[in-house]
Structure formats: C-alpha cells, structure tokens
Amino acid sequence: MEIKLTEVKQSFLEANLIELQFIAIFGGMILLFLIEGFIPRRHSESDQTNRWISNIVLAIFNHFLILVYTAALFKLLALIQPESSLLRHFGLSDIPVFIIVLLLMDFLTYWIHRSFHKVPILWRIHAVHHSDTEIDVTTSHRHHPLEPMISSLLLTPIVFALGAPLVVMAAYSFVLTASSLISHSNLSLPHKIDNFLRFFVITPDFHRIHHSSDKPFTNSNYGGILPWFDYLFRTYKRKPYSDIPEMEVGLEVMREASDNRLDKVFLTPFIYKP
C-alpha cells in the first residue's frame, strides 16, 4: 500500500517535533547571535554575562515546559479526523489553511500581548521580558514561565476548534519562532530596507520601540509576526532611525546588573512594583 506524502510528513513531525523546535530555537539563536557581532544596531559597553545566562536559562526552561505541552497538544491534533476539522470542512488545502491560521493566531496573540500590558497582574508577569536593559536575540526568550503557559492555555481552545493539520501548526510555530528571534535581534538593517520590510513583517527596529523605557512607546508595536494589526488598531509608533541605537530600553526601575540574577528574574512578578 502506497504511503501518502502527507502521512509521511505527519509521522516525521510527531516523532521529531521537540527536536526540531529545539534546533529552530537554539540554532537560530546561535546563528543570529553570531551575526549580531558583525552588524550590531547598538554597541553595549557593559558586561552582558549575567543577562545572557539568565536569558538562556529561561529559554531552556520555557522550551521544555512549553514544548512538552505543545507536543502533547499536537499529538491530540493528529487524532482529530479531517471531517471534524473546522478548516478541513471547507475542503481547503494546506497553504490556504496556513494563511488563515497565521492571520487568526497573529490577531489573537496581538490582543493577548496587549492584555499583558493593560491588566496589572499580567503586566507584573510580562515585566520580566521588559526588564532587559539591552535587546538582542537572547531577549526573545526572556519570559517568566507563567507567561507562555497563560498564552498557551488561552490559545488552546482556538487551536482545537480550527483543527488545522499538524504540518500547518508546526509550520506556524516555526514562523513564529523565527519572527521572535529576528525581531528581538540586535541586527542593523539599512534604513530603506527596514522601511520597506516593516510593511510586511516585524523588523528589529519596529520591535525595539516596544522595549523603550518610555511608557507611550512601551505600549505600542505589539505585533508578533505581522505589523498590520498595529497599523489597523493604531498602536504603531516609530522614532527617527538615528535615535534607535541610543534609545533607553527596559523598565524605569530594575536597571542594576544584579537585577539580572536568575533568582530575581523568577521573583519579578512578586516583587516588581509598577
């Protein structure tokens, strides 16, 4: 009996999902970290050792915490029959399903991100991410473990309602990972290229504004993959290209090197006073 190509893809993903995600996250992080060294947007004169250690430990911890959850979720998705899938019900192929999933999930994550800024208890958790006083690719995974767990639990019912094929959800996950790594990176893009790209994707300068210590800018540019929802809901802000490297990032408080200690990072939601 001939095995269909889609079945081979699904079987491969089921067997290697965690390993593939690990390669995407940490392989991408190492690659961008090396490139940043050659074309940095901002040169830092302070010692980065403590924050790098904390960010990488958080990345590893959250990777195993969330990906074990995600792998279990994807295994359940694989059991959903095509006829019970909301998207498959319309007879769509993988590419249009991927586009729908990308747009819908990015729309939802945009609003979840805004909620983490507007709801006080959620902001205390999200403050871990914004407490980084430098921005580079390691910042992409500087999240308190409570944040990705809350986001995942909020999105899970939507994922099950859609019932998108495993290969589509895996592709979305990889695109989201790549976007997060690139948008947080300390890469320097020429002004004209950045201006062009930000019509379609989140560029490093686009997202760096979001990490400004100046509150009006902190509460802007929420997009994860696409910038369109920031444009649509008028949460997009920008600064002159020449001002970005000197812009202060992080929070108004927690700016000492000791604040990057791992124990303080884990305790931030409980000790941070906005």
- pLDDT at position 242: 93
> Which pair of structure tokens corresponds to residue 212?
């400004």
- pTM for the full predicted model: 0.88
* Cα–Cα distance for residue pair 24/249, rounded to 1 Å: 27
- pLDDT at position 16: 67
For residue 249, which phi and psi values (nearest 5 degrees)? -115, 165
Q: Where are the domains of the chain?
A: 7-38+47-271
Contact assessment for residue 242 and residue 257, using Cβ atoms and an 8 Å cutoff: no
Helix (H, G, I), strand (E, B) or coil at 249: strand
Q: Under the phi-then-psi rule, with left for phi > 0, alpha for psi from -120 to 50, and beta for the rest, what region is 163?
A: left
Contact assessment for residue 136 and residue 36, using Cβ atoms and an 8 Å cutoff: yes
- pLDDT at position 175: 94
Could you list the pLDDT tens digit for every one of the 274 residues in the chain? 334 445 555 566 555 666 777 788 889 999 999 999 899 999 887 878 888 999 999 988 887 777 667 666 666 655 555 455 566 666 677 888 899 999 999 999 999 999 999 999 999 999 999 999 999 999 999 999 999 889 988 888 888 778 777 788 888 989 999 999 999 999 999 999 999 999 999 999 999 999 999 999 999 999 999 999 999 999 999 999 999 999 999 998 888 888 888 888 899 999 887 7
- pLDDT at position 167: 82
